[in-house]
Structure 1
Protein backbone atom coordinates (compact mmCIF):
# COMPACT_ATOMS: atom_id res chain seq x y z
CA UNK A 1 0.00 0.00 0.00
CA UNK A 2 1.27 3.47 -0.89
CA UNK A 3 2.33 5.65 2.03
CA UNK A 4 0.66 8.95 1.11
CA UNK A 5 2.91 10.96 3.42
CA UNK A 6 6.18 9.73 1.90
CA UNK A 7 4.90 8.74 -1.54
CA UNK A 8 6.56 5.34 -1.23
CA UNK A 9 5.50 1.72 -1.09
CA UNK A 10 7.27 -1.14 0.71
CA UNK A 11 8.31 -3.79 -1.80
CA UNK A 12 10.06 -7.07 -1.26
CA UNK A 13 13.05 -8.22 -3.31
CA UNK A 14 11.65 -11.36 -4.89
CA UNK A 15 14.52 -12.29 -7.20
CA UNK A 16 18.05 -11.21 -8.13
CA UNK A 17 19.86 -12.60 -11.15
CA UNK A 18 22.98 -11.82 -13.12
CA UNK A 19 22.32 -10.36 -16.58
CA UNK A 20 25.99 -9.71 -17.45
CA UNK A 21 29.37 -9.42 -15.80
CA UNK A 22 28.79 -6.70 -13.20
CA UNK A 23 25.07 -6.23 -13.92
CA UNK A 24 22.42 -7.66 -11.63
CA UNK A 25 18.65 -7.51 -12.22
CA UNK A 26 16.31 -7.09 -9.26
CA UNK A 27 12.62 -8.02 -9.25
CA UNK A 28 10.49 -6.14 -6.72
CA UNK A 29 6.96 -7.12 -5.70
CA UNK A 30 4.31 -5.97 -3.24
CA UNK A 31 4.54 -8.02 -0.06
CA UNK A 32 0.84 -8.88 -0.18
CA UNK A 33 0.69 -9.44 -3.92
CA UNK A 34 -1.19 -6.19 -4.69
CA UNK A 35 -0.94 -4.60 -8.12
CA UNK A 36 1.74 -1.93 -8.42
CA UNK A 37 1.19 1.61 -9.76
CA UNK A 38 1.17 1.86 -13.56
CA UNK A 39 4.21 3.04 -15.49
CA UNK A 40 5.18 3.72 -19.07
CA UNK A 41 8.46 3.08 -20.93
CA UNK A 42 11.15 5.53 -19.87
CA UNK A 43 10.00 5.66 -16.24
CA UNK A 44 12.27 5.26 -13.23
CA UNK A 45 11.76 4.63 -9.54
CA UNK A 46 13.59 5.92 -6.47
CA UNK A 47 14.75 3.18 -4.12
CA UNK A 48 15.60 3.96 -0.49
CA UNK A 49 18.52 1.74 0.40
CA UNK A 50 19.09 2.76 4.00
CA UNK A 51 21.51 5.20 5.66
CA UNK A 52 20.02 8.02 3.62
CA UNK A 53 20.91 6.43 0.27
CA UNK A 54 18.27 7.09 -2.40
CA UNK A 55 18.99 6.11 -5.97
CA UNK A 56 17.06 6.25 -9.24
CA UNK A 57 16.85 3.21 -11.50
CA UNK A 58 15.11 2.85 -14.85
CA UNK A 59 12.35 0.28 -15.04
CA UNK A 60 13.35 -2.37 -17.56
CA UNK A 61 10.59 -4.96 -17.22
CA UNK A 62 7.21 -5.39 -18.86
CA UNK A 63 5.03 -2.29 -18.42
CA UNK A 64 1.93 -4.50 -18.65
CA UNK A 65 3.07 -6.61 -15.69
CA UNK A 66 1.39 -5.04 -12.64
CA UNK A 67 2.82 -7.63 -10.24
CA UNK A 68 6.44 -6.47 -10.25
CA UNK A 69 9.03 -3.84 -11.10
CA UNK A 70 12.37 -4.87 -12.58
CA UNK A 71 15.58 -2.84 -12.50
CA UNK A 72 19.16 -3.68 -13.42
CA UNK A 73 22.12 -2.26 -11.52
CA UNK A 74 25.71 -1.95 -12.69
CA UNK A 75 28.51 -2.63 -10.23
CA UNK A 76 30.17 0.79 -10.50
CA UNK A 77 33.61 1.15 -8.89
CA UNK A 78 33.02 4.91 -8.56
CA UNK A 79 29.75 4.32 -6.71
CA UNK A 80 28.59 6.72 -4.01
CA UNK A 81 26.95 3.82 -2.20
CA UNK A 82 23.90 2.70 -4.17
CA UNK A 83 25.56 0.26 -6.54
CA UNK A 84 27.75 -1.15 -3.78
CA UNK A 85 24.73 -1.66 -1.53
CA UNK A 86 22.69 -3.45 -4.19
CA UNK A 87 25.52 -5.77 -5.15
CA UNK A 88 26.94 -6.48 -1.70
CA UNK A 89 24.04 -6.12 0.74
CA UNK A 90 20.65 -6.34 -0.95
CA UNK A 91 19.28 -9.87 -1.09
CA UNK A 92 16.00 -11.69 -1.92
CA UNK A 93 13.56 -11.27 0.94
CA UNK A 94 14.76 -7.80 1.87
CA UNK A 95 12.14 -5.02 1.94
CA UNK A 96 12.85 -1.57 0.48
CA UNK A 97 10.87 1.66 0.14
CA UNK A 98 10.17 2.54 -3.48
CA UNK A 99 8.65 5.69 -4.96
CA UNK A 100 5.88 5.76 -7.51
CA UNK A 101 7.33 5.67 -11.04
CA UNK A 102 8.22 9.02 -12.60
CA UNK A 103 8.85 9.54 -16.28
CA UNK A 104 11.27 12.18 -17.54
CA UNK A 105 12.13 10.14 -20.63
CA UNK A 106 8.71 9.52 -22.13
CA UNK A 107 8.49 7.57 -25.37
CA UNK A 108 6.57 9.90 -27.66
CA UNK A 109 4.51 8.54 -30.52
CA UNK A 110 6.45 8.31 -33.79
CA UNK A 111 6.41 6.15 -36.92
CA UNK A 112 10.18 5.57 -36.63
CA UNK A 113 12.70 5.33 -33.80
CA UNK A 114 16.46 5.06 -33.47
CA UNK A 115 17.48 3.75 -30.04
CA UNK A 116 21.12 4.22 -28.99
CA UNK A 117 22.28 2.63 -25.74
CA UNK A 118 25.64 2.54 -24.02
CA UNK A 119 26.32 -0.02 -21.29
CA UNK A 120 23.70 0.02 -18.53
CA UNK A 121 21.83 2.61 -20.63
CA UNK A 122 20.12 -0.35 -22.26
CA UNK A 123 17.68 -0.57 -19.34
CA UNK A 124 15.09 2.08 -20.36
CA UNK A 125 15.34 0.94 -23.98
CA UNK A 126 13.90 -2.53 -23.33
CA UNK A 127 10.31 -1.44 -22.60
CA UNK A 128 10.59 1.26 -25.26
CA UNK A 129 11.41 -1.34 -27.89
CA UNK A 130 8.52 -3.50 -26.72
CA UNK A 131 6.12 -0.56 -27.06
CA UNK A 132 7.49 0.41 -30.47
CA UNK A 133 7.02 -3.19 -31.56
CA UNK A 134 3.42 -3.25 -30.34
CA UNK A 135 2.62 0.04 -32.08
CA UNK A 136 3.93 -1.19 -35.42
CA UNK A 137 6.58 1.53 -35.63
CA UNK A 138 9.83 1.05 -37.48
CA UNK A 139 12.75 0.93 -35.08
CA UNK A 140 16.39 0.01 -34.73
CA UNK A 141 18.64 -0.40 -31.68
CA UNK A 142 22.37 0.32 -31.63
CA UNK A 143 23.87 -1.01 -28.40
CA UNK A 144 27.49 -0.38 -27.47
CA UNK A 145 29.60 -1.59 -24.56
CA UNK A 146 33.10 -2.50 -23.47
CA UNK A 147 32.70 -6.24 -24.12
CA UNK A 148 29.92 -8.74 -24.75
CA UNK A 149 30.38 -10.17 -21.25
CA UNK A 150 29.51 -6.79 -19.69
CA UNK A 151 26.48 -6.05 -21.90
CA UNK A 152 23.19 -7.00 -20.25
CA UNK A 153 20.17 -8.51 -22.00
CA UNK A 154 22.03 -9.32 -25.23
CA UNK A 155 20.51 -12.81 -25.36
CA UNK A 156 16.95 -11.47 -25.05
CA UNK A 157 17.59 -8.89 -27.76
CA UNK A 158 18.54 -11.59 -30.27
CA UNK A 159 14.82 -12.28 -30.75
CA UNK A 160 14.57 -9.00 -32.68
CA UNK A 161 17.03 -10.10 -35.34
CA UNK A 162 18.87 -7.56 -37.46
CA UNK A 163 16.97 -4.61 -36.00
CA UNK A 164 19.45 -4.84 -33.12
CA UNK A 165 23.12 -4.01 -33.66
CA UNK A 166 25.44 -4.98 -30.79
CA UNK A 167 28.86 -3.31 -30.93
CA UNK A 168 31.49 -4.16 -28.31
CA UNK A 169 34.71 -2.18 -28.16
CA UNK A 170 36.87 -5.29 -27.79
CA UNK A 171 35.48 -6.77 -31.02
CA UNK A 172 34.01 -4.12 -33.32
CA UNK A 173 35.14 -0.80 -31.84
CA UNK A 174 32.66 1.95 -31.03
CA UNK A 175 29.24 2.88 -32.38
CA UNK A 176 29.42 4.73 -35.71
CA UNK A 177 27.45 7.81 -34.70
CA UNK A 178 28.43 9.68 -37.87
CA UNK A 179 26.64 7.06 -39.94
CA UNK A 180 23.66 6.98 -37.60
CA UNK A 181 23.17 10.69 -37.06
CA UNK A 182 25.14 12.46 -39.79
CA UNK A 183 21.94 13.17 -41.71
CA UNK A 184 18.59 13.82 -40.07
CA UNK A 185 15.77 11.44 -40.91
CA UNK A 186 12.15 12.47 -41.41
CA UNK A 187 9.50 11.28 -38.94
CA UNK A 188 12.16 9.78 -36.66
CA UNK A 189 12.87 10.19 -32.96
CA UNK A 190 16.22 9.27 -31.43
CA UNK A 191 16.38 8.00 -27.84
CA UNK A 192 19.77 7.71 -26.16
CA UNK A 193 20.88 6.60 -22.72
CA UNK A 194 24.33 5.79 -21.45
CA UNK A 195 27.57 7.32 -20.17
CA UNK A 196 28.24 11.03 -20.60
CA UNK A 197 30.78 10.49 -23.38
CA UNK A 198 28.15 8.81 -25.53
CA UNK A 199 25.51 11.44 -24.79
CA UNK A 200 27.86 14.30 -25.60
CA UNK A 201 28.81 12.62 -28.87
CA UNK A 202 25.16 12.08 -29.80
CA UNK A 203 24.39 15.73 -29.08
CA UNK A 204 27.30 16.80 -31.25
CA UNK A 205 26.57 14.46 -34.17
CA UNK A 206 22.85 15.20 -34.02
CA UNK A 207 23.25 18.96 -34.19
CA UNK A 208 21.55 19.06 -37.58
CA UNK A 209 18.41 17.28 -36.41
CA UNK A 210 15.22 19.19 -35.64
CA UNK A 211 14.65 20.38 -32.07
CA UNK A 212 13.31 17.75 -29.67
CA UNK A 213 13.92 14.85 -32.07
CA UNK A 214 17.01 13.68 -30.15
CA UNK A 215 16.09 12.82 -26.59
CA UNK A 216 18.60 11.91 -23.89
CA UNK A 217 18.56 10.50 -20.38
CA UNK A 218 21.57 11.01 -18.14
CA UNK A 219 22.61 8.91 -15.16
CA UNK A 220 24.94 11.63 -13.86
CA UNK A 221 25.20 15.42 -14.27
CA UNK A 222 27.41 16.77 -17.03
CA UNK A 223 31.03 17.24 -16.07
CA UNK A 224 32.09 20.86 -16.36
CA UNK A 225 34.96 21.39 -18.80
CA UNK A 226 38.24 22.62 -17.32
CA UNK A 227 37.97 25.95 -19.15
CA UNK A 228 34.28 26.39 -18.39
CA UNK A 229 33.58 28.95 -15.70
CA UNK A 230 31.04 28.51 -12.95
CA UNK A 231 27.87 30.50 -13.73
CA UNK A 232 27.81 33.86 -11.98
CA UNK A 233 25.35 33.95 -9.12
CA UNK A 234 23.71 36.68 -7.10
CA UNK A 235 21.50 36.54 -4.02
CA UNK A 236 17.85 35.88 -4.82
CA UNK A 237 14.63 36.10 -2.85
CA UNK A 238 12.23 33.15 -3.04
CA UNK A 239 8.67 33.54 -1.83
CA UNK A 240 6.37 30.58 -1.27
CA UNK A 241 2.85 31.68 -2.19
CA UNK A 242 0.88 29.08 -0.24
CA UNK A 243 2.87 29.01 2.99
CA UNK A 244 3.82 32.69 2.97
CA UNK A 245 7.46 31.81 3.64
CA UNK A 246 10.18 33.96 2.08
CA UNK A 247 13.85 32.94 2.04
CA UNK A 248 16.98 34.68 0.90
CA UNK A 249 19.15 32.34 -1.14
CA UNK A 250 22.85 33.13 -1.11
CA UNK A 251 25.20 32.63 -4.08
CA UNK A 252 26.22 28.98 -4.22
CA UNK A 253 23.24 27.91 -2.12
CA UNK A 254 20.48 25.72 -3.53
CA UNK A 255 16.92 27.00 -3.36
CA UNK A 256 15.92 23.58 -2.00
CA UNK A 257 18.47 23.84 0.83
CA UNK A 258 17.31 27.33 1.79
CA UNK A 259 13.67 26.23 1.85
CA UNK A 260 14.43 23.15 3.94
CA UNK A 261 16.32 25.28 6.45
CA UNK A 262 13.22 27.50 6.71
CA UNK A 263 11.02 24.48 7.37
CA UNK A 264 9.44 24.17 3.92
CA UNK A 265 9.20 20.49 3.03
CA UNK A 266 9.65 19.79 -0.69
CA UNK A 267 9.75 16.25 -2.16
CA UNK A 268 13.23 15.54 -3.50
CA UNK A 269 15.60 12.72 -4.24
CA UNK A 270 18.71 13.15 -6.37
CA UNK A 271 19.47 16.84 -5.61
CA UNK A 272 21.34 16.97 -8.93
CA UNK A 273 18.62 18.03 -11.37
CA UNK A 274 18.27 14.50 -12.69
CA UNK A 275 15.14 12.86 -11.26
CA UNK A 276 12.36 15.46 -11.44
CA UNK A 277 11.04 14.88 -7.93
CA UNK A 278 11.48 18.53 -6.82
CA UNK A 279 9.78 20.05 -9.87
CA UNK A 280 7.95 23.16 -8.67
CA UNK A 281 5.51 25.50 -10.40
CA UNK A 282 6.78 29.06 -10.90
CA UNK A 283 4.17 31.77 -10.38
CA UNK A 284 6.37 34.84 -10.96
CA UNK A 285 9.97 35.44 -11.92
CA UNK A 286 12.27 33.89 -14.51
CA UNK A 287 14.07 30.64 -13.64
CA UNK A 288 17.70 30.01 -14.54
CA UNK A 289 17.38 26.35 -15.51
CA UNK A 290 20.27 24.01 -14.75
CA UNK A 291 18.48 20.67 -14.74
CA UNK A 292 18.63 17.67 -17.07
CA UNK A 293 14.91 16.88 -16.96
CA UNK A 294 12.96 19.62 -18.72
CA UNK A 295 13.09 19.92 -22.47
CA UNK A 296 14.31 23.18 -24.00
CA UNK A 297 10.70 24.11 -24.77
CA UNK A 298 9.65 23.40 -21.17
CA UNK A 299 12.56 25.46 -19.88
CA UNK A 300 11.70 28.33 -22.19
CA UNK A 301 8.13 28.36 -20.90
CA UNK A 302 9.37 29.01 -17.35
CA UNK A 303 6.30 27.31 -15.88
CA UNK A 304 8.21 24.92 -13.64
CA UNK A 305 11.75 24.43 -12.36
CA UNK A 306 13.91 21.96 -10.46
CA UNK A 307 14.74 23.83 -7.29
CA UNK A 308 17.58 21.52 -6.28
CA UNK A 309 19.93 23.00 -8.90
CA UNK A 310 18.22 25.84 -10.78
CA UNK A 311 18.27 29.47 -9.67
CA UNK A 312 16.76 32.69 -11.05
CA UNK A 313 17.51 35.31 -13.67
CA UNK A 314 15.33 37.74 -11.76
CA UNK A 315 15.92 39.05 -8.24
CA UNK A 316 12.82 37.28 -6.96
CA UNK A 317 10.96 34.06 -7.60
CA UNK A 318 7.44 33.25 -6.43
CA UNK A 319 6.82 29.52 -6.18
CA UNK A 320 3.67 27.47 -5.74
CA UNK A 321 4.68 26.12 -2.34
Structure 2
Protein backbone atom coordinates (compact mmCIF):
# COMPACT_ATOMS: atom_id res chain seq x y z
CA UNK A 1 0.00 0.00 0.00
CA UNK A 2 1.28 3.50 -0.79
CA UNK A 3 1.77 6.09 1.94
CA UNK A 4 -1.77 7.20 2.87
CA UNK A 5 -0.34 10.54 3.96
CA UNK A 6 -0.04 11.39 0.27
CA UNK A 7 -3.81 11.74 0.19
CA UNK A 8 -3.98 15.01 2.07
CA UNK A 9 -7.23 16.42 0.70
CA UNK A 10 -8.17 20.00 -0.07
CA UNK A 11 -10.61 20.71 2.73
CA UNK A 12 -13.46 21.02 0.24
CA UNK A 13 -15.37 17.94 1.43
CA UNK A 14 -19.13 18.21 1.62
CA UNK A 15 -21.81 15.99 3.08
CA UNK A 16 -22.04 14.16 -0.24
CA UNK A 17 -18.38 13.16 -0.01
CA UNK A 18 -18.83 11.59 3.42
CA UNK A 19 -21.93 9.83 2.12
CA UNK A 20 -19.86 8.50 -0.78
CA UNK A 21 -17.37 7.06 1.72
CA UNK A 22 -20.17 4.82 2.99
CA UNK A 23 -20.51 3.17 -0.45
CA UNK A 24 -24.29 3.70 -0.61
CA UNK A 25 -24.81 1.22 -3.46
CA UNK A 26 -23.17 -1.55 -1.48
CA UNK A 27 -24.98 -0.38 1.65
CA UNK A 28 -28.34 -0.74 -0.10
CA UNK A 29 -27.65 -4.46 -0.59
CA UNK A 30 -26.52 -4.78 3.05
CA UNK A 31 -29.66 -3.05 4.28
CA UNK A 32 -32.00 -5.07 2.07
CA UNK A 33 -30.58 -8.52 2.88
CA UNK A 34 -30.32 -7.71 6.60
CA UNK A 35 -33.91 -6.48 6.61
CA UNK A 36 -35.08 -9.66 4.91
CA UNK A 37 -33.15 -11.78 7.41
CA UNK A 38 -34.87 -9.92 10.24
CA UNK A 39 -38.38 -9.99 8.77
CA UNK A 40 -38.47 -13.66 7.75
CA UNK A 41 -37.18 -14.86 11.13
CA UNK A 42 -39.69 -16.88 13.18
CA UNK A 43 -39.67 -14.43 16.07
CA UNK A 44 -41.20 -10.97 15.71
CA UNK A 45 -39.39 -7.76 16.59
CA UNK A 46 -40.94 -4.49 17.69
CA UNK A 47 -41.04 -2.12 14.69
CA UNK A 48 -38.98 0.54 16.48
CA UNK A 49 -36.33 -2.01 17.45
CA UNK A 50 -36.34 -3.42 13.91
CA UNK A 51 -35.96 0.01 12.30
CA UNK A 52 -33.19 1.04 14.69
CA UNK A 53 -31.37 -2.27 14.20
CA UNK A 54 -31.41 -1.95 10.41
CA UNK A 55 -30.12 1.62 10.74
CA UNK A 56 -27.20 0.47 12.89
CA UNK A 57 -26.42 -2.44 10.55
CA UNK A 58 -26.40 0.08 7.69
CA UNK A 59 -24.00 2.30 9.65
CA UNK A 60 -21.76 -0.71 10.21
CA UNK A 61 -21.81 -1.45 6.50
CA UNK A 62 -21.00 2.20 5.78
CA UNK A 63 -18.15 2.10 8.30
CA UNK A 64 -16.68 -0.87 6.42
CA UNK A 65 -16.91 1.11 3.19
CA UNK A 66 -15.14 4.13 4.66
CA UNK A 67 -12.33 2.01 6.10
CA UNK A 68 -12.01 0.14 2.82
CA UNK A 69 -11.67 3.43 0.94
CA UNK A 70 -9.05 4.59 3.44
CA UNK A 71 -6.95 1.48 2.94
CA UNK A 72 -7.49 1.22 -0.83
CA UNK A 73 -6.93 4.90 -1.65
CA UNK A 74 -3.82 4.05 -3.69
CA UNK A 75 -5.73 1.48 -5.76
CA UNK A 76 -8.71 3.80 -6.20
CA UNK A 77 -6.40 6.53 -7.51
CA UNK A 78 -5.26 4.25 -10.34
CA UNK A 79 -8.52 2.63 -11.43
CA UNK A 80 -10.66 4.68 -13.80
CA UNK A 81 -13.98 3.75 -12.17
CA UNK A 82 -12.79 4.82 -8.69
CA UNK A 83 -10.54 7.82 -9.39
CA UNK A 84 -13.23 10.29 -8.43
CA UNK A 85 -13.87 8.81 -5.01
CA UNK A 86 -13.45 11.37 -2.20
CA UNK A 87 -9.92 10.39 -1.08
CA UNK A 88 -8.09 9.99 -4.44
CA UNK A 89 -9.95 13.07 -5.73
CA UNK A 90 -8.52 15.00 -2.79
CA UNK A 91 -11.80 16.12 -1.21
CA UNK A 92 -11.38 14.02 1.95
CA UNK A 93 -8.08 13.18 3.62
CA UNK A 94 -7.12 9.59 4.33
CA UNK A 95 -6.98 10.40 8.04
CA UNK A 96 -10.48 11.85 8.02
CA UNK A 97 -11.83 8.72 6.32
CA UNK A 98 -10.05 6.50 8.85
CA UNK A 99 -11.47 8.25 11.90
CA UNK A 100 -14.90 8.53 10.27
CA UNK A 101 -14.94 4.79 9.65
CA UNK A 102 -13.67 3.91 13.12
CA UNK A 103 -16.22 6.18 14.80
CA UNK A 104 -19.10 4.71 12.81
CA UNK A 105 -17.87 1.19 13.59
CA UNK A 106 -17.95 1.77 17.34
CA UNK A 107 -21.28 3.61 17.24
CA UNK A 108 -23.01 0.97 15.11
CA UNK A 109 -21.75 -2.01 17.11
CA UNK A 110 -22.50 -0.52 20.54
CA UNK A 111 -25.94 0.80 19.60
CA UNK A 112 -26.97 -2.48 17.94
CA UNK A 113 -26.03 -4.31 21.12
CA UNK A 114 -28.03 -1.90 23.27
CA UNK A 115 -31.01 -1.96 20.91
CA UNK A 116 -31.25 -5.64 19.91
CA UNK A 117 -28.82 -8.10 21.51
CA UNK A 118 -25.10 -8.49 21.95
CA UNK A 119 -24.86 -11.57 19.76
CA UNK A 120 -25.98 -9.61 16.69
CA UNK A 121 -23.71 -6.76 17.79
CA UNK A 122 -20.68 -9.08 17.97
CA UNK A 123 -21.65 -10.50 14.58
CA UNK A 124 -21.66 -6.97 13.11
CA UNK A 125 -18.25 -6.23 14.66
CA UNK A 126 -16.84 -9.43 13.17
CA UNK A 127 -18.28 -8.55 9.77
CA UNK A 128 -16.60 -5.13 9.80
CA UNK A 129 -13.32 -6.75 10.87
CA UNK A 130 -13.61 -9.42 8.17
CA UNK A 131 -14.26 -6.91 5.39
CA UNK A 132 -11.58 -4.43 6.40
CA UNK A 133 -8.79 -6.67 7.71
CA UNK A 134 -9.30 -10.12 6.16
CA UNK A 135 -10.54 -8.97 2.75
CA UNK A 136 -9.25 -5.43 2.16
CA UNK A 137 -5.88 -5.60 3.95
CA UNK A 138 -4.98 -9.21 3.25
CA UNK A 139 -6.87 -11.13 0.57
CA UNK A 140 -7.53 -8.40 -2.00
CA UNK A 141 -3.85 -7.76 -2.69
CA UNK A 142 -2.47 -11.28 -2.29
CA UNK A 143 -4.65 -13.92 -3.98
CA UNK A 144 -7.01 -14.35 -6.94
CA UNK A 145 -9.33 -16.07 -4.45
CA UNK A 146 -9.83 -12.65 -2.84
CA UNK A 147 -13.42 -12.28 -3.93
CA UNK A 148 -14.28 -15.91 -3.13
CA UNK A 149 -13.21 -15.87 0.53
CA UNK A 150 -13.77 -12.14 0.98
CA UNK A 151 -17.31 -12.50 -0.32
CA UNK A 152 -18.28 -13.78 3.12
CA UNK A 153 -18.27 -10.21 4.41
CA UNK A 154 -21.12 -9.26 2.09
CA UNK A 155 -22.97 -12.46 2.91
CA UNK A 156 -23.17 -11.93 6.68
CA UNK A 157 -25.90 -9.18 6.78
CA UNK A 158 -28.92 -11.53 6.46
CA UNK A 159 -27.47 -13.60 9.29
CA UNK A 160 -27.09 -10.45 11.39
CA UNK A 161 -30.71 -9.50 10.69
CA UNK A 162 -31.82 -13.01 11.67
CA UNK A 163 -29.72 -12.76 14.85
CA UNK A 164 -31.41 -9.46 15.76
CA UNK A 165 -34.74 -11.31 15.84
CA UNK A 166 -33.65 -14.67 17.25
CA UNK A 167 -30.38 -14.05 19.06
CA UNK A 168 -28.78 -16.93 17.19
CA UNK A 169 -28.06 -18.78 13.95
CA UNK A 170 -30.13 -21.36 12.06
CA UNK A 171 -30.13 -23.44 8.90
CA UNK A 172 -32.25 -20.75 7.22
CA UNK A 173 -29.86 -17.92 8.03
CA UNK A 174 -26.89 -20.01 6.89
CA UNK A 175 -28.65 -20.70 3.58
CA UNK A 176 -29.26 -16.96 3.06
CA UNK A 177 -25.56 -16.45 3.74
CA UNK A 178 -24.68 -19.23 1.28
CA UNK A 179 -26.76 -17.70 -1.52
CA UNK A 180 -24.94 -14.36 -1.25
CA UNK A 181 -21.57 -16.07 -0.73
CA UNK A 182 -21.89 -18.27 -3.83
CA UNK A 183 -23.32 -15.41 -5.89
CA UNK A 184 -20.43 -13.03 -5.18
CA UNK A 185 -17.69 -14.65 -7.34
CA UNK A 186 -19.63 -14.85 -10.65
CA UNK A 187 -21.01 -11.36 -9.99
CA UNK A 188 -17.56 -9.79 -9.59
CA UNK A 189 -15.83 -11.95 -12.19
CA UNK A 190 -18.39 -10.87 -14.79
CA UNK A 191 -17.37 -7.29 -13.91
CA UNK A 192 -13.67 -8.17 -13.98
CA UNK A 193 -13.97 -9.53 -17.52
CA UNK A 194 -14.63 -6.07 -18.90
CA UNK A 195 -12.58 -4.21 -16.25
CA UNK A 196 -9.42 -6.32 -16.51
CA UNK A 197 -7.23 -3.39 -17.57
CA UNK A 198 -8.14 -1.43 -14.43
CA UNK A 199 -7.29 -4.30 -12.10
CA UNK A 200 -4.06 -5.00 -13.98
CA UNK A 201 -3.03 -1.34 -13.78
CA UNK A 202 -3.77 -1.26 -10.04
CA UNK A 203 -1.91 -4.49 -9.37
CA UNK A 204 -4.95 -6.25 -7.91
CA UNK A 205 -4.63 -10.03 -8.47
CA UNK A 206 -8.15 -10.61 -9.75
CA UNK A 207 -8.63 -13.91 -11.55
CA UNK A 208 -8.65 -12.15 -14.93
CA UNK A 209 -5.17 -10.76 -14.18
CA UNK A 210 -3.56 -13.89 -12.72
CA UNK A 211 -5.21 -16.61 -14.84
CA UNK A 212 -6.63 -14.72 -17.82
CA UNK A 213 -10.11 -14.22 -19.17
CA UNK A 214 -10.54 -17.77 -20.48
CA UNK A 215 -10.08 -19.29 -17.00
CA UNK A 216 -12.31 -16.61 -15.51
CA UNK A 217 -15.09 -17.45 -17.98
CA UNK A 218 -14.95 -21.08 -16.89
CA UNK A 219 -15.08 -20.06 -13.23
CA UNK A 220 -18.18 -17.91 -13.85
CA UNK A 221 -20.02 -20.88 -15.37
CA UNK A 222 -18.94 -23.28 -12.61
CA UNK A 223 -20.08 -20.94 -9.84
CA UNK A 224 -23.47 -20.29 -11.45
CA UNK A 225 -23.93 -24.07 -11.58
CA UNK A 226 -22.89 -24.48 -7.93
CA UNK A 227 -25.09 -21.58 -6.83
CA UNK A 228 -28.31 -22.96 -8.33
CA UNK A 229 -28.88 -25.95 -5.99
CA UNK A 230 -28.12 -23.78 -2.94
CA UNK A 231 -30.58 -21.09 -4.00
CA UNK A 232 -33.29 -23.52 -5.09
CA UNK A 233 -32.78 -25.69 -2.01
CA UNK A 234 -33.72 -22.76 0.23
CA UNK A 235 -37.26 -23.09 -1.15
CA UNK A 236 -37.79 -26.21 0.94
CA UNK A 237 -37.00 -24.59 4.30
CA UNK A 238 -39.27 -22.63 6.64
CA UNK A 239 -38.54 -19.38 4.80
CA UNK A 240 -39.27 -20.80 1.34
CA UNK A 241 -42.38 -21.83 -0.52
CA UNK A 242 -43.87 -22.12 -4.03
CA UNK A 243 -43.42 -18.43 -4.86
CA UNK A 244 -39.75 -18.51 -3.92
CA UNK A 245 -39.27 -21.82 -5.74
CA UNK A 246 -40.70 -20.43 -8.98
CA UNK A 247 -38.55 -17.30 -8.73
CA UNK A 248 -35.41 -19.29 -7.88
CA UNK A 249 -35.83 -21.76 -10.74
CA UNK A 250 -36.34 -19.01 -13.33
CA UNK A 251 -33.61 -16.71 -11.99
CA UNK A 252 -31.04 -19.49 -11.74
CA UNK A 253 -31.87 -20.77 -15.22
CA UNK A 254 -31.22 -17.27 -16.58
CA UNK A 255 -28.00 -16.92 -14.58
CA UNK A 256 -26.70 -20.31 -15.73
CA UNK A 257 -27.57 -19.42 -19.33
CA UNK A 258 -25.59 -16.21 -18.89
CA UNK A 259 -22.64 -18.14 -17.48
CA UNK A 260 -22.84 -20.53 -20.45
CA UNK A 261 -22.83 -17.65 -22.92
CA UNK A 262 -19.85 -16.09 -21.14
CA UNK A 263 -17.96 -19.39 -21.21
CA UNK A 264 -18.57 -19.91 -24.94
CA UNK A 265 -17.53 -16.39 -25.90
CA UNK A 266 -14.57 -15.90 -28.20
CA UNK A 267 -12.25 -13.27 -26.72
CA UNK A 268 -11.75 -11.43 -30.00
CA UNK A 269 -15.50 -11.18 -30.56
CA UNK A 270 -16.11 -10.12 -26.95
CA UNK A 271 -13.57 -7.33 -27.18
CA UNK A 272 -14.91 -6.20 -30.54
CA UNK A 273 -18.48 -5.80 -29.26
CA UNK A 274 -17.43 -4.10 -26.04
CA UNK A 275 -18.16 -7.10 -23.80
CA UNK A 276 -21.91 -6.67 -24.21
CA UNK A 277 -22.75 -10.17 -22.98
CA UNK A 278 -20.54 -9.85 -19.92
CA UNK A 279 -22.11 -6.51 -19.06
CA UNK A 280 -25.61 -7.95 -19.42
CA UNK A 281 -24.78 -10.88 -17.14
CA UNK A 282 -23.28 -8.49 -14.59
CA UNK A 283 -26.41 -6.34 -14.73
CA UNK A 284 -28.64 -9.39 -14.24
CA UNK A 285 -26.51 -10.53 -11.31
CA UNK A 286 -27.48 -7.32 -9.51
CA UNK A 287 -31.15 -8.19 -9.99
CA UNK A 288 -30.57 -11.82 -9.02
CA UNK A 289 -30.16 -11.23 -5.28
CA UNK A 290 -33.01 -8.75 -5.05
CA UNK A 291 -35.53 -11.14 -6.64
CA UNK A 292 -34.47 -14.03 -4.38
CA UNK A 293 -34.63 -12.05 -1.18
CA UNK A 294 -37.78 -10.30 -2.38
CA UNK A 295 -39.36 -13.74 -2.82
CA UNK A 296 -38.39 -14.63 0.76
CA UNK A 297 -40.22 -11.48 1.85
CA UNK A 298 -43.27 -12.36 -0.23
CA UNK A 299 -43.47 -15.80 1.37
CA UNK A 300 -43.23 -14.26 4.86
CA UNK A 301 -45.87 -11.64 4.07
CA UNK A 302 -48.36 -14.20 2.73
CA UNK A 303 -47.78 -16.84 5.40
CA UNK A 304 -50.17 -15.28 7.99
CA UNK A 305 -52.92 -15.51 5.34
CA UNK A 306 -52.22 -19.18 4.75
CA UNK A 307 -50.81 -18.45 1.29
CA UNK A 308 -47.05 -18.50 1.84
CA UNK A 309 -44.86 -21.49 2.61
CA UNK A 310 -45.65 -25.13 2.08
Length-normalised TM-score, structure 2: 0.28
User: Greater helix share, 1 or 2?
Assistant: 2
Higher normalized contact order (CA 8 Å, seq sep 6+, divided by chain length): 2
Length-normalised TM-score, structure 1: 0.27
User: Greater strand share, 1 or 2?
Assistant: 1
